[in-house]
Amino acid sequence: MATRSQRYILVVAITAIMASKQAILAFCFQQGRIFQRHAHSHSRRSFWVSSSVLSVAVTSSSSSSSLSVEPIKTPAKFVPKPFDYHQLIDIQIDSLTNQGWGIGRVALTTPDTPTTTTTDGTAKEVDNNDSNNTEHNNNSNMEDKRLWIIMVPHVIVGETVRVRIFRNMKSYSEADLVEVLQASPDRVEPKCSLAGICGGCQYQHMSITAQRDWKQKHVQEVLLQQKIDGYETSDKVQVLPTAGTDQIFEYRSKLTPHYQAPMEETMEDESGETSTAYHLEAVGFQQSSNRRLVDVPECPIATPPINKVYQQTRQQLHQRSQQGLLNASPTGKKKRKRGGRSRSGGALGATLLFRQADDDVETGEAVVVTDHNQYMTTTVKDIQFRYQAGNFFQNNNYVLPLMVDAVVEAATKPVSGAGMPPSYLIDCYCGSGLFALSAAKHFKLCVGIEVNEKAAAEASENAKLNSIDNCQFVAASAEAIFTSPPTLTIAGFEELKVQDLDRQQTVVVLDPPRKGCSPEFLQQLYEYSPQRIVYMSCGPATQARDAKGIVEVGGYDIVSIQPFDLFPQTKHIESLVVFEKRTPQFKIHL
C-alpha cells in the first residue's frame, strides 16, 4: 500500500499531467492543427490531434494513474445525417453569427449526400461531371441540390478551412476547426495562449480593425433582417464605424472566474488507516466548446491590478484545497453550484469577483474589490458613482466615457422648430444613474426608473454625492413610469407627474438588459410618445426587434446608429440607436 507521502505525490502528479495536457492543447491550437471536443468525452477528459483518429485520455484511480490510447467513440445521441461523426470537410467561410461562429455552406443532394473520401480522409462532394461516376450521374437528375450550413468557431469571413463534424442538427451541422487552409489577411496571432480554448474571447485571432468592421456590419444586418418599413435596404440603414479606443487589452475592470470543488482522493495504508488528499483542477472560465472549466492563470483583457489580485487568490485557493478547506461549505452560506453536480462529499464550486474601483485617494494605489456586498466608487467624466460591487455597472472605463458622450449629445440636440434642446429626460433601466446624472446639467428635470431597488437607491445617493438636485429616481419596472408614475418631488415640479411634461420637450433614454424591452413597456412608450428616444443596447438583435415597433407602431424615424467596441477581442457589441418622432415641424438637427 502507498504511504501518505506517496499518495500526495500521486495527486500532485495527476494535477501536473492535466496542466501539461492543457498546455499541449493550447500550443497545438495556436499552430492551427488542433481539433478539440470535450463535450462528448463522457467519463474521461480527452483531446484529439487532427492527424490522428485516436484520443489520448488521462485516467486515474485510487491507486494509480496512466495514459491510454483508445479509438474515438461516436456519442450515443449523435445524428449520423448528413455527415458522419468526426468527418473532415473543407469549407469557405461566408459570414459570422452573432456568437462569433463562422458559417460555411456545402452543397448536398436530397435525400443523402454523395461523397467520396480523399487519401487524407477529407470528404468532398462527388463531381457529377466525372465519367467515373456514371451510376450517380444517372440518378442525380432525380435529386435536388441544396446548401447545408456548417458552423465553426475561430474563423474569419473569406477563409478556407478544414473542419471536423461533431453535431448534426435539423438544418445545420456544428464542427470544430482543424486547420486553416487559406488564411485571411486579417488573421493575427492571439495574445493569449488559451485563445480558442477559453470561452471568454471569440475574436483574438482577428485584427482589431476586422473585429470592429464586423461589429458594424452585424448591427446593420440585424436591422435589415427586421425589414423595417422605410429601412429595408443597406443604403437606408447607415451604421457609423464602430467606436473604440486603442486600449484593446488590459481594459476590463471586472472579472468573474469560477472553480469547482476540489477532487477528492481517499486511500488506505498498510495499517488500514485512511487519509484524504485534494487537488483543485481549474480556476478560470468555461471552455469555448462546452461548460467545463479551463484553467486560466491570467486574463489578458483584464486590468493589471485585477490580474495581480487574481493570481494571488489562485495561489490561496490551491493552498486551501490541499488542506481540504475548500471542501467544507462556509458556515451559514452555501457555495454556488456550478455544472449541476456535487463533488467531495457535498462541497460545491464558486464564482469569484474581482472589480477595480477608483484608486485609493490617500496612497494612489489601485483598489480591487472581491466582496459582492462591498461598496466601491467609479468616476466617469468627473461624476462619482458609488455602488455595490455585485451590482451592474459597465466595466470598460476607457470606452464608457465615449458612450456617455454619445448618449448626452444625442439627448441634448436641439429640436428644430422649437429651436431649443429638450428640457426633460426620462431614463428607463437607469441602474445606478449613469446616463441621467451625466446628462443632468443639460436638463431642467431628469427622472430615472430601475427595477433593482438597491440600484435605484444607489442612483439617489449618487445624485446627492455629486450635488445634483434635479434628478429623481424610482424603484419599479420600466413600464411603471407611464402606467403608475410617481409624484415628482423635485423643486419646481412638486405634485406633477411625467405625463404632465411637454412630450415635444421630452427625451426617453433606454438601456435595457440583453433581452430588450418588454411588449408592455413599448406599448406604454408609444402612447406616451416622447419627442426623442435614445436607445443603448448590449443586444443588437433585440434592439433591432424593438426598433421595428418603434418605427412602424410608434411613428419614429431612425436618425443615427452607432456601435461601440466596449469589449475588444469578444463578440459583444454595444449599439446606440436614436429615434425622432416623425412630425414635420419637429426633426432632429443632424
Separation between Cα atoms, residue 66 and residue 73, nearest integer Å: 20
* CATH number where 556 lies: 3.40.50.150
Does residue 95 contact residue 149 with C-beta atoms inside 8 Å? no
Amino acid at 514: R
Separation between Cα atoms, residue 280 and residue 344, nearest integer Å: 11
Do 270 and 239 lie in one domain? The reply is no
Do 467 and 332 lie in one domain? The reply is no
Is residue 206 situated within a structural domain? no
Is residue 1 situated within a structural domain? no
Is residue 550 situated within a structural domain? yes
Is residue 129 situated within a structural domain? yes
Do 304 and 392 lie in one domain? The reply is no
Do 84 and 227 lie in one domain? The reply is no
Is residue 209 situated within a structural domain? no
Residue 538 known to be catalytic: yes
Is residue 210 situated within a structural domain? no
401 Cβ contact partners less than 8 Å away, ≥ 6 residues apart: 380, 381
DSSP notation for 63-118: S-EEEEEEEPPPPTT---SSS-TT-EEEEEEEEE-TTS-EEEEEEEESSS--EEE-
Q: Residue 238 is placed in which grid cell?
A: 447607415
Does residue 422 contact residue 443 with C-beta atoms inside 8 Å? yes
C-alpha distance from residue 270 to each of 1, 2, 10, 536, 583 (Å): 5, 8, 17, 67, 89
312 Cβ contact partners less than 8 Å away, ≥ 6 residues apart: none
pLDDT tens, residue by residue, 549-581: 999 999 999 999 999 999 999 999 999 999 999
Do 327 and 472 lie in one domain? The reply is no
Last residue of a domain, one of 187, 202, 237: 187
From first to last of the 590 residues of the chain, give the pLDDT tens digit: 455 455 545 544 555 555 555 555 554 444 443 443 333 332 222 333 333 333 333 333 333 334 444 567 889 999 988 999 999 999 999 999 988 999 999 998 755 444 444 445 455 543 444 444 434 444 444 445 689 999 999 999 999 999 999 999 999 999 999 999 999 999 999 999 999 899 999 999 999 999 999 999 999 999 999 999 999 999 999 999 999 999 999 999 999 999 988 887 777 777 878 877 788 889 999 998 778 899 999 999 999 999 999 999 999 999 888 887 776 544 434 343 343 333 444 456 899 999 999 999 999 999 999 999 999 999 999 999 999 999 999 999 999 999 999 999 999 999 876 678 999 999 999 999 999 999 999 999 999 999 999 999 999 999 999 999 999 999 999 888 888 888 899 999 998 998 899 999 999 999 999 999 999 999 999 999 999 999 999 999 999 999 999 999 999 999 999 999 999 999 999 999 999 999 654 445 54
Separation between Cα atoms, residue 349 and residue 179, nearest integer Å: 35
Largest CA distance in the chain: 94
Classified as helix, coil or strand, 60 is strand
Is residue 375 situated within a structural domain? no
Annotated binding site: 394, 429, 450, 511
- Work out whether the CA dihedral 7, 13, 19, 21 comes out positive or negative: negative
Q: What is the residue range of 149's domain? A: 8-187
DSSP code of residue 131 = G
Phi/psi for 235 (5° steps) reads -70, -20
Do 267 and 179 lie in one domain? The reply is no
Separation between Cα atoms, residue 173 and residue 163, nearest integer Å: 11
Separation between Cα atoms, residue 177 and residue 466, nearest integer Å: 52
Do 58 and 83 lie in one domain? The reply is yes
Does residue 189 contact residue 110 with C-beta atoms inside 8 Å? no
CA 280 to chain centroid, in Å, comes to 26
pLDDT tens, residue by residue, 231-286: 999 999 999 999 999 999 999 999 999 998 888 777 777 787 887 778 888 999 99
Q: Helix 519-528 to helix 540-552 angle, to the nearest 10 degrees? A: 40
- Return the number of other C-beta atoms located less than 10 Å from residue 260's C-beta: 24
Do 68 and 94 lie in one domain? The reply is yes
* CATH number where 48 lies: 2.40.50.140
* Number of domains observed in the structure of the chain: 3
Separation between Cα atoms, residue 201 and residue 33, nearest integer Å: 20
Side-chain half-sphere of 133: how many Cα atoms within 13 Å?
A: 13
Pairing label, strands 115-117, 34-35 = unpaired
Is residue 208 situated within a structural domain? no
Do 447 and 540 lie in one domain? The reply is yes
Q: Residue 262 is placed in which grid cell?
A: 476540489
Q: Residue 536 is placed in which grid cell?
A: 443603448
Cell 470537410 belongs to residue: 89
* From 299, 446, 517, 538, the catalytic residue: 538
Annotated binding site for S-adenosyl-L-methionine: 394, 429, 450, 511
Last residue of a domain, one of 187, 203, 233: 187
Pairing label, strands 445-450, 471-475 = parallel
Do 344 and 413 lie in one domain? The reply is no
Side-chain half-sphere of 511: how many Cα atoms within 13 Å?
A: 21
Do 240 and 262 lie in one domain? The reply is no
Do 392 and 300 lie in one domain? The reply is no
Structural element, H or E, at residue 526: helix 519-528
Last residue of a domain, one of 336, 352, 368: 352
Separation between Cα atoms, residue 542 and residue 521, nearest integer Å: 14
DSSP notation for 540-586: HHHHHHHHHHHHHTT-EEEEEEEEE-SSTTSS--EEEEEEEE-BTTB
Separation between Cα atoms, residue 306 and residue 162, nearest integer Å: 38
